[in-house]
């Protein structure tokens, strides 16, 4: 595709570096911005740059934060005895949106992945182990995606957490999603959901 202007071309190239945005979509977005008020573009550009350069992370749980301590860690009403370990900030947002969890978090910042060269030392694991002694932590929930890398990370963590026998370790329940059809579930999920069946209250 040839562009009538270098400026357009640059904008398209930069936009199409984003995941899920190809050159056609990038061109559509660029021409949209060109038609809209100049303010639309300036506030977009400013919001992105500000977000990237001014963002800080909570010193306790490594969640995104505008302050040294994130809103969840600073909230005295939350259960600081329960720590949910997640790989990513996205997961914190997803769990928060359920409205079902009142504890605090610990964001690992990824999962162990030898292929991508991510080892345990690249993740926020040490800071989790430091958090536990002399704290009120009673339970650690490993809420890591059940992929190969995620399971490896969970396994590594649960071995590390054996140091603290007073802390209970749990993982999020696996099984058939709500509204999911049994016949479309993969065999491993369906098999595990039978093995780990839940007894109904009488």
The answer to whether 163 contacts a copy of itself (rule: CB under 8 A) is no
Query: Binder to a copy of itself among 22, 45, 75, 147 (CB under 8 A)?
Result: 45
57 in Cβ contact with 63 (< 8 Å): yes
Beta strands (DSSP E) in the chain are 56-57, 64-65, 79-86, 103-107, 139-142, 168-171
d(Cα 87, Cα 188) in Å, to the nearest integer? 23
d(Cα 118, Cα 124) in Å, to the nearest integer? 12
Residue ranges in 46-65 that form contacts with a copy of itself under rule CB under 8 A:
46-55, 63-65
The answer to whether 5 contacts a copy of itself (rule: CB under 8 A) is yes
Looking at beta carbons only, is 19 or 133 nearer to a copy of itself? 19
Residue ranges in 72-131 that form contacts with a copy of itself under rule CB under 8 A:
72, 88-90, 92-93, 96-97
> Which DSSP symbol is given to 185?
S
Of 84, 100, 101, the closest CA to residue 139 belongs to 84
What x-and-dash track marks residues 6-25 binding a copy of itself by CB under 8 A? xxx-xx-xxx-xxxxx---x
Q: Minimum distance between the CB of residue 152 and a copy of itself, rounded to whole angstroms?
A: 20
d(Cα 63, Cα 105) in Å, to the nearest integer? 8
Residues making contact with a copy of itself (CB under 8 A): 1-8, 10-11, 13-15, 17-21, 25, 27-34, 38, 40-55, 63-66, 70-72, 88-90, 92-93, 96-97
């Amino acid at each position: 595709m040839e562009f009538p202007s270098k400026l357009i071309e640059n904008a398209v190239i930069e936009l199409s570096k984003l995941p899920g945005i190809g050159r056609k979509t990038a061109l559509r977005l660029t021409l949209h911005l060109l038609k809209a008020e100049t303010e639309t573009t300036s506030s977009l550009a400013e919001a992105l740059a500000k977000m990237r350069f001014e963002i800080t992370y909570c010193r306790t749980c490594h969640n995104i934060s505008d302050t040294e301590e994130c809103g969840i860690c600073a909230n005295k009403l939350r259960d600081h005895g329960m720590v949910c370990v997640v790989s990513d900030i996205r997961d914190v947002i997803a769990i928060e949106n359920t409205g079902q969890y009142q504890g605090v978090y610990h964001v690992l910042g990824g999962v162990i992945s030898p292929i991508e060269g991510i080892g345990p030392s690249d993740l926020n694991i040490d800071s989790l182990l430091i958090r536990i002694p002399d704290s009120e932590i009673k339970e650690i929930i490993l809420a890591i995606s059940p992929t190969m890398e995620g399971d490896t990370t969970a396994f590594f963590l649960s071995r590390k957490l054996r140091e603290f026998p007073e802390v209970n370790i749990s993982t999020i329940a696996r099984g058939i999603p709500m509204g999911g059809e049994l016949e479309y579930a993969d065999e491993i999920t369906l098999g595990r959901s039978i093995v780990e069946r839940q007894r109904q209250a009488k």
